[in-house]
Amino acid sequence: PVTTQGSQTQQLQKHYGITSPISLAAPKEFDCMLTQKLIETLKPYGVFEEEEELQRRILILGKLNNLVKEWIREISESKNLPQSVIENVGGKIFTFGSYRLGVHTKGADIDALCVAPRHVERSDFFTSFYEKLKQQEEVKDLRAVEEAFVPVIKLCFDGIEIDILFARLALQTIPEDLDLRDDSLLKNLDIRCIRSLNGCRVTDEILHLVPNIDNFRLTLRAIKLWAKRHNIYSNILGFLGGVSWAMLVARTCQLYPNAIASTLVHKFFLVFSKWEWPNPVLLKQPEECNLNLPVWDPRVNPSDRYHLMPIITPAYPQQNSTYNVSVSTRMVMVEEFKQGLAITDEILLSKAEWSKLFEAPNFFQKYKHYIVLLASAPTEKQRLEW
């Protein structure tokens, strides 16, 4: 019995990160009160969606899922598959990104993935499925971006913007309970399908690697709002995008598995203001699947050694989600982490309110020089593609 107990503890620690927790302390009454205050402070910023809106999204995704199943059945019939296969052919819409993590804000778009069996080609997705969407009266602003690094169909379904990626698996049918975290699904897949699957696999792994999903979600909502208010929420501009912020918060949750949001927000700033970059942030030990896909590994790839702020995705093939970070953007972020720590120190001492953390700094007093970029397009259609 003693060994079982020990192995259980070991399993727990193994499950929640690559090191032991920093603290297992449980929340005190003061922490609960501060967390409640945090929720109240977040509400006016529109970070929580009304139940009605949430139900509308679920309904829209249900309709989309039915369209996918219908389309795959039609294609299966046109390719003369046996009736027994057609009846169970399946097909499914998976979500990823902020919606799947449960931290999307009011009016945010949905990242989705259409998963199809092996007899459905990528070209079918961009032709017959595109046409099927075109026929739906709820669908507006439909456009296909087939030549993108991760090819996508973009649309507005009943007022909600949705990006749909496509992955064709080497399976005859797509079961309802399919777990995309299964590495064996990647065998013999087209690289575009592997890239398309990556978003879902990473999101699902993150949710499996945090000790308490509700605490993780509330903390991430707060950190995302803080990052947006401080103008450091942007992968393209060399800061961090949504998945990177999610991984930093997940790592904080692993280090303080019993803490609640008010404590976790403070610990987030504590951990990352003192982090010794470029040591990587990892949520689990990278696994080798022998599928010969390029993975982040500075021992093997010299270019990986120059990454300044590596935050490594937890699903195979592991990638650095922050390759755009530069010396100057990292400096800005570390400075912001230190500021965040100073403010949350005050909040924990009841010397400041949460609202102070979300105050927008005066960007136009901060620097001496500014660059203005003007982008224009000759037509509305071309502007949409931008």
pLDDT above 70: residue 12: no
Give the up-direction half-sphere exposure of residue 294: CA atoms within 13 A in the CB hemisphere.
9
What's the pLDDT tens digit per position in 208-239? 999 999 999 999 999 999 999 999 999 999 99
Structure tokens at 385: 């593609």
List the binding residues for ATP.
Answer: 96-98, 105, 109-111, 163, 224, 233, 242-243
Instruction: Please state the rounded mean pLDDT for residues 4-32.
Output: 74
| Counted domains in the chain | 2
85 and 178 together in one domain: yes
293 and 333 together in one domain: yes
Structure tokens at 331: 């400096």
Active-site residue set = 98, 109, 111, 163, 224, 233
**241 φψ region: left (φ > 0), alpha (ψ -120 to 50), beta (else):** beta
81 and 196 together in one domain: yes
With respect to residue 292, please indicate whether it lies within any of the assigned structural domains: yes
Structural domain harbouring 356: 15-45+209-366
198 and 228 together in one domain: no
List the binding residues for Mg(2+).
Answer: 109, 111, 163
pLDDT at 234: 97
List the binding residues.
Answer: 96-98, 105, 109-111, 163, 224, 233, 242-243
- Is residue 16 very low, low, confident or very high in pLDDT (cuts 50, 70, 90)? confident
What's the pLDDT tens digit per position in 341-384? 999 999 999 999 999 999 999 888 888 999 999 999 999 878 87
158 and 251 together in one domain: no
**For residues 5, 9, 15 and 17, what is the CA-based torsion angle, rounded to 10 degrees?**
-160
pLDDT at 308: 98
- Buried/exposed code over 152-181 (b: 16+ C-beta within 10 A; e: otherwise): bbbbebeebebbbbbbbbeeebbeeebebb
DSSP string for 37-75: HHHHHHGGGT-S--HHHHHHHHHHHHHHHHHHHHHHHHH
Name which residue leads in pLDDT, 332 or 8.
332
12-26, 106-120, 318-332: least confident range: 12-26
Percentage of the chain with pLDDT > 70? Answer: 96
With respect to residue 222, please indicate whether it lies within any of the assigned structural domains: yes
What's the pLDDT tens digit per position in 236-280? 999 999 999 999 999 999 999 999 999 999 999 999 999 999 999
pLDDT above 50: residue 284: yes
DSSP 8-class letter at 145: E
Structure tokens at 369: 């020089």
pLDDT above 90: residue 333: yes
**Alpha-carbon gap, residue 280 to 278, rounded angstroms:** 6
- Is residue 287 very low, low, confident or very high in pLDDT (cuts 50, 70, 90)? confident
**Alpha-carbon gap, residue 2 to 8, rounded angstroms:** 10
**Alpha-carbon gap, residue 229 to 340, rounded angstroms:** 12
191 and 60 together in one domain: yes
**Alpha-carbon gap, residue 247 to 262, rounded angstroms:** 18
